[in-house]
Amino acid sequence: MLALWVALRNAAPVIGGAIIFGINSSINASGAVSLNTYLAIIGIMCAGPFIALLLSHPSQVQRKDGVVIVFRKTGWLLSLSEWWSVIASKNMLLLCPLFFTSWFYGSYIGTLQTQYFNVRTRALCAFVIPMGDIVGGFMVGYFLDNKRMSIKQKARASFAFLMTCNLALWIWTAIITKQLEDSKPIIDWTSPEFGRTFSLFLLFDLVTMATQTSLFWIIGQMSNDFIILSYMTGTLRGVECAGQAVAYGIKSSDTTDWLSIGFNVGLFVLAIPFAWMVIRKIGVQSFKEIEPDAASTDEKSDAPDSKEELA
């Protein structure tokens, strides 16, 4: 299911990338994309709210077996109180450094594309690279669904492999950066430098989305309560976005490429031991169940609170 969500999430970038590529595929020069690119994307975005009106009202949604989906009534103060009880838990705090750095790479990789790729090659990247996200999500999803390995083995093997891949990609990035700084090329898809730079960008998206999918799987092992899991996934997305904001802020200032590389490597190295303290518990011991405030107990009674009830 996680991999399916990843595929649906990245279907939009693939479609948008196809539009960008179609409009700009003939521009064999550096600089900005065609104005028509912005008009096409803005037009699609403006149509979004009207398309959303075709969705069924939540109260009309039911499962295949006919069971109606029950929604819990809550308020801002109660939700904030419950969310705080989740974010303040030890295991979530230990994972937050990895959440923060999981998409930190994007600002630097995007800058490399802008600096060294011409317009049509960047358009090709916009179309093809999101497919790496889809492949990465399905690859790690297939592995984590493997029934021949224990949960403990899958958690540790996927974590070790993905952290190794992330750090290896940054070593490769440092090598590519040095080569680009020395030669300062304008890269077209016919250029000899295209293969090694494009494959780096594609693999970054593949590995990053595989890492993201595994993070959702990890927090899925920490609770059976769907309300708690909603707060956990929201925290993951929020901290991840905060990391992206900081990364783009750093890159927007007058800093060297090597500072970005150093930050990314340093954050990953810092995050690994904290995350490992959680990973090593998966499949070995039960996580202490996080309980929302007692005031919400009655309001939760009508809502499904376990994976089994929603299966």
* pLDDT at residue 86, rounded to an integer: 87
Q: Name the more confident of 10 and 212.
A: 212
User: Is the pLDDT at 33 greater than 50, yes or no?
Assistant: yes
Q: 69-127, pLDDT tens digit by residue? A: 777 777 888 888 888 888 888 999 999 999 999 888 888 888 888 889 998 999 899 89
Which pLDDT band, with edges at 50, 70 and 90, does 302 fall under?
Answer: very low
Residue 170 has pLDDT above 90, yes or no: yes
* Least confident window among 68-77, 81-90, 139-148, 260-269: 68-77
Query: 305 pLDDT exceeds 50?
Result: no
pLDDT tens-place string over residues 178-188: 999 999 899 99
How confident is the model over 189-208, as a mean pLDDT? Answer: 92
The CA distance from 224 to 176, in Å, is 44
303 band by pLDDT with thresholds 50, 70 and 90:
very low
pLDDT tens sequence across 220-232:
898 888 888 889 9
Query: Has residue 277 got a pLDDT over 90?
Result: yes
Look up residue 306 and give its two tokens. Answer: 């376990």
Q: Which of 241-255, 256-270, 285-299 shows the lowest per-residue confidence on average (mean pLDDT)? A: 285-299
Query: What is the model's pTM?
Result: 0.82
Question: How does pLDDT run across 3-29, given as a tens digit for each residue?
Answer: 777 777 778 788 888 888 888 877 777
Region 246-270 average pLDDT:
88
Position 16 scores a pLDDT of 84
Q: Which region among 123-127, 229-233, 266-270, 301-305 has the lowest average model confidence (pLDDT)?
A: 301-305
Q: What are the residue ranges spanned by the domains of the chain?
A: 2-310
Q: Across all residues in the chain, what is the average pLDDT?
A: 85
Residue 136: pLDDT above 60? Answer: yes
pLDDT of residue 239: 94
Q: Looking at residue 300, what is its pLDDT?
A: 44
- Judged by average pLDDT, the poorest of 170-174, 226-230, 278-282 is 226-230
What average pLDDT score do residues 183-206 get?
A: 92
Q: Which CATH number fits domain 2-310: 1.20.1250, 1.20.58, 1.20.120, 1.10.287?
A: 1.20.1250
Judged against a pLDDT cut of 70, whether residue 298 lies above it is answered with no
| Cα–Cα dist 307/298, whole Å | 19
- What is the pLDDT, as a whole number, of residue 304? 43
**Is the pLDDT reported for residue 36 higher than 70?**
yes
User: Per-residue confidence at 177, pLDDT binned at 50, 70, 90?
Assistant: very high
